[in-house]
Amino acid sequence: MRVLVLGGDGFCGWPTSLYLSDQGHDITIADNLSRRKIDVELEVESVTPIRPIHDRLAAWQQVSGNSIGFVNLDLATEYDRLTDLLTDLRPDAIVHFAEQRAAPYSMRTAETKRYTVDNNVRGTHNLLTALVTTGVSASLVHLGTMGVYGYGWSGSAPIPEGYLTVKVPTPDGELEREILHPANPGSVYHLTKTLDQLLFSFYAANDRLRITDLHQGIVWGTQTDQTARDERLINRFDYDGDYGTVLNRFLMQAAIGHPLTVHGTGGQTRAFIHIRDTVRCIEIAINNPPEANSRVLVRNQVTETHQLLDLAKMIGDMTGAEIAYLPNPRREADENELAVRNDQFLALGLEPTTLSEGLLAEITDVARRYRHRIDPRKIIARSVWRAGMETSPDLMTELPPE
Ligand code: NAD
Ligand code: USQ
């Protein structure tokens, strides 16, 4: 299959591109490298030393014999170049990762809020319009998020895959309808994913575009079989207070002896998936697109749910790391229940990597190996959801000796 990977230089997009290339697909990446530029703006780097995109691509060609195309393109602002690319390439499938994806970054300032909305919503809408204008009949797979459903809204009822069955009272009795699950975003970033959903619904109904929206949980881990083949192919590992996600942050913190930064009580429950399962799910999704003329196909891309405090305790037991209960910089429930349906991917053959299998390897193979690249002053999350909310001072300012 000819596959266009939008955002293919990022944490999920890079290993997906290599995995699909390894499976024999013909891959082209389009990315504006904005994620690398935000690292410069935040004065932080991936724990793992990621190589410039052209070095990465040359290394993959050397290691695998397969070449991957690359186009430096801004999905949100370069509409004409996007239509040219679609017309030239005529992909069979498009995977859309190309959005600003950090909730804390999206809540930093008025500028980052506006950037996140402009970048994400315009990018998605440009893509949909470009597909209609060019007549390219590629199926589209978008990376959405579990956060569109919000947390705790339906108590212990499992979150369905995208649609909720509701009963509507009418003068003649009750009508049963399936509606898009109500949106409950917890940040401007998550809000953009709920706006994406409406764009998809419209274009699937009006233009018969074939769209899959993957509501993915928090991705953990770093390497896949492909990125581990050569150090030049290594995947990024974010640990900072904006882009680092909770489980990878705890693993990195344990590796340097930093207390585990639990926000609030740690009663928040979230959904997780290993990066190896992400890439496999994308392959399943491109191989099983919806029919034209059907509604958006929503699949929940998660394998486990955990309460944050349980995760912190598990890592503390494994490594001796202490837990620090910090003021929560976000506006979110202290505690919530979360059960998620993920029947579709399991039925299509996904065999989940469980937390118990990979945690220690992640600490020793990645976090400890590159610990010297960590700046402990970048660990505490400083982006607050509302002016005046408290954050913690740095708990460590220098790396302790090994
Ligand atoms: P990332 O920031 O590492 O990668 C995103 C890539 O898209 C970057 O390489 C960036 O340069 C590129 N990009 C952003 N805006 C662009 C634009 N306008 N034009 C072209 N390229 C652009 O993020 P990630 O962690 O790989 O996440 C990928 C997708 O998966 C995102 O849409 C995110 O919302 C979703 N997701 C991620 C997670 C997670 O835990 N990382 C979980 C659920 C969903
Ligand atoms: N948290 C801590 N300590 C930390 C960091 C985070 O307690 O050091 C807490 C947060 O307060 C929050 C939870 O952990 O309650 C998750 O935070 P996160 O940064 O790991 O995840 P989130 O902001 O939700 O965003 C990440 C990705 C995003 C993706 C989302 C999937 O950055 O792209 O969409 O996970 S989901 O959460 O399922 O919506």
> What's the confidence (pLDDT) of residue 336?
96
**41 assigned to some structural domain:** yes
**52 assigned to some structural domain:** yes
**277 assigned to some structural domain:** yes
Q: How close is the Cα of 302 to the center of ligand 1, in Å?
A: 17
Give the model's confidence band at 360: pLDDT under 50 very low, under 70 low, under 90 confident, else very high: confident
Give the rounded percent of residues in the chain with a pLDDT score beyond 90: 94
> What's the confidence (pLDDT) of residue 362?
82
Measure the CA–CA gap between 6 and 94, rounded to whole angstroms. Answer: 7
**187 assigned to some structural domain:** yes
Measure the CA–CA gap between 84 and 81, rounded to whole angstroms. Answer: 5
260-277 pLDDT per residue, tens: 999 999 999 999 999 999
Residue 102 predicted with pLDDT over 90: yes
Is the distance from CB of 380 to CB of 325 less than 8 angstroms? no
Measure the CA–CA gap between 219 and 245, rounded to whole angstroms. Answer: 8
> What's the confidence (pLDDT) of residue 152?
84
For the CA of 187, the closest atom of ligand 2 is: 23
CATH number at residue 164: 3.40.50.720
Instruction: Determine whether the shortest distance from the Cβ of 120 to ligand 1 is under 6 A.
Output: no
H/E stretch holding 298 reads strand 297-301
Closest of 25, 224, 188, 221 to residue 100, by C-alpha: 188
Is the distance from CB of 252 to CB of 221 less than 8 angstroms? no
208-248 pLDDT per residue, tens: 999 999 999 999 999 999 999 999 999 999 999 999 999 99
287-342 pLDDT per residue, tens: 999 998 999 999 999 999 999 999 999 999 999 999 999 999 999 999 999 999 99
DSSP 367: I
Q: How many CA atoms lie within 13 A of 108 on its CB side?
A: 18
**371 assigned to some structural domain:** no
**124 assigned to some structural domain:** yes
Query: Would residue 167 show up in a list of annotated catalytic residues for this protein?
Result: no
Q: 202: exposed, middle or buried (C-beta count within 10 Å: 0-12, 13-18, 19+)?
A: middle
* Least distant ligand from the CA of 325: 2
Q: What pTM value is reported for the model? A: 0.98
Measure the CA–CA gap between 275 and 221, rounded to whole angstroms. Answer: 6
Q: Give the domain range for residue 8.
A: 2-222+273-303+337-352
**381 assigned to some structural domain:** no
Q: How close is the Cα of 34 to the center of ligand 1, in Å?
A: 10
Total number of domains constituting the chain = 1
**401 assigned to some structural domain:** no
Instruction: Determine whether the shortest distance from the Cβ of 132 to ligand 1 is under 6 A.
Output: no
